[in-house]
């Protein structure tokens, strides 16, 4: 059972490792569902961690149909990840008709080697998951992160089980989105997935003593400069135990 924790800060990455994660997916911008982190963050995290580090390759939030400029930015970001000695990258490009953009995905995968490559939840936005699974195998993805085309993995559990059967060991199916302590055993047991992806999200107060109460989110609604997102390493430990127990049943 592979345990992957998605992280958005250097501190979170360290907590994920202490909790026993096998690897992290390092991202920026949680509000957009994750975008490519800075080169500085990639380098520092790689130097600080001994577990596998994968980076999100996503130039912006929103959909997964990218312009030529955005595609070339993704190529440059992959080069950056190789320079930082990362273990893998996470990406996905779709055509406007809802199919995997096989040509551009294949080129990015080839550019990424010898790093491993995961197809992220762009997969869940395709018109036909069975078709998309075969396309992902064809172009060379090593893993697919998916919720079974639903908002959460728990809701997509039956589809996930079908994808695992269809994959038949040709590619790793990793369950993600809403995977937590209350449902991870059920998801693993019902689907037979070999990997799970979750955040173990927690918050702690900022170290700031002086606080300007007149400004929140630097002008954006709902923001807080004084809450820092991190990872609860104890949750990571419990998630590993629960997932491994379920996989043995």
Report the percentage of the chain scoring pLDDT > 90: 91
Report the pLDDT value the prediction gives residue 216, as an integer from 0 to 100.
72
Give 157's contacts (C-beta < 8 A, 6+ positions apart).
148, 186, 187, 190, 191
Instruction: Give CA–CA dist 64/105, Å, rounded.
Output: 12
Q: Which helix (H) or strand (E) holds 244?
A: helix 233-248
pLDDT tens-place string over residues 196-228: 999 999 999 999 999 888 877 665 555 678 889
Give 181's contacts (C-beta < 8 A, 6+ positions apart).
235, 238, 239, 242
pLDDT tens-place string over residues 67-124: 999 999 999 999 999 999 999 999 999 999 999 999 999 999 999 999 999 999 999 9
Report the pLDDT value the prediction gives residue 104, as an integer from 0 to 100.
98
Question: What residue ranges define each of the domains in the chain, with the CATH number in brackets?
Answer: 2-248 (3.20.20.380)
Give bridge partners of residue 197 from the DSSP assignment.
Answer: 4, 176
Q: Are 136 and 102 in contact (CB under 8 A)?
A: no
Report the pLDDT value the prediction gives residue 213, as an integer from 0 to 100.
80
pLDDT tens-place string over residues 52-69: 999 999 999 999 999 999
pLDDT tens-place string over residues 118-132: 999 999 999 999 999
Average pLDDT, the chain: 95
Query: How far does Cα 37 stand from its chain's mean position?
Result: 12
Closest CA to 91 of 31, 23, 35, 134: 35
Instruction: Give CA–CA dist 24/3, Å, rounded.
Output: 8
pLDDT tens-place string over residues 134-154: 999 999 999 999 999 999 999
Report the pLDDT value the prediction gives residue 221, as an integer from 0 to 100.
54
pLDDT tens-place string over residues 150-206: 999 999 999 999 999 999 999 999 999 999 999 999 999 999 999 999 999 999 999
Report the pLDDT value the prediction gives residue 219, as an integer from 0 to 100.
57
Instruction: Give CA–CA dist 134/245, Å, rounded.
Output: 30
Given its phi and psi angles, is residue 222 left (phi above 0), alpha (psi -120 to 50 degrees) or beta?
left
Residue at token pair 């600080």? 48
């Amino acid at each position: 059972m592979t345990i992957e924790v998605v992280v958005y800060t250097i501190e979170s990455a360290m907590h994920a490792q202490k909790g026993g994660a096998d690897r992290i997916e390092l991202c920026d911008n949680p509000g957009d569902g994750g975008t490519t982190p800075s080169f500085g963050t990639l380098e520092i995290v790689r130097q600080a961690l001994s577990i596998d580090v994968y980076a999100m390759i996503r130039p912006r939030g929103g959909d997964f149909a990218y312009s030529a400029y955005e595609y070339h930015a993704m190529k440059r970001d992959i080069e950056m990840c190789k320079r930082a000695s990362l273990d893998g990258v996470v990406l996905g490009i779709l055509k406007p008709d809802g199919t995997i953009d096989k040509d551009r995905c294949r080129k990015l995968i080839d550019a990424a080697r010898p790093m491993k490559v995961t197809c992220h939840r762009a997969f869940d936005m395709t018109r036909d998951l069975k078709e998309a699974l075969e396309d992902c195998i064809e172009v060379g993805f090593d893993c697919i992160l998916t919720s079974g085309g639903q908002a959460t993995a728990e809701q997509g559990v039956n589809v996930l089980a079908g994808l695992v059967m269809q994959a038949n060991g040709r590619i790793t199916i990793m369950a993600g989105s809403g995977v937590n302590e209350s449902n991870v055993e059920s998801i693993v047991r019902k689907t037979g997935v070999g990997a799970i992806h979750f955040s173990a999200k927690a918050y702690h107060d900022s170290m700031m003593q002086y606080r300007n109460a007149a400004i929140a989110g630097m002008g954006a609604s709902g923001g807080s400069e004084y809450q820092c997102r991190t990872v609860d390493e104890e949750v990571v430990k419990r998630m590993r135990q629960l997932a491994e127990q379920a996989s043995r049943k």
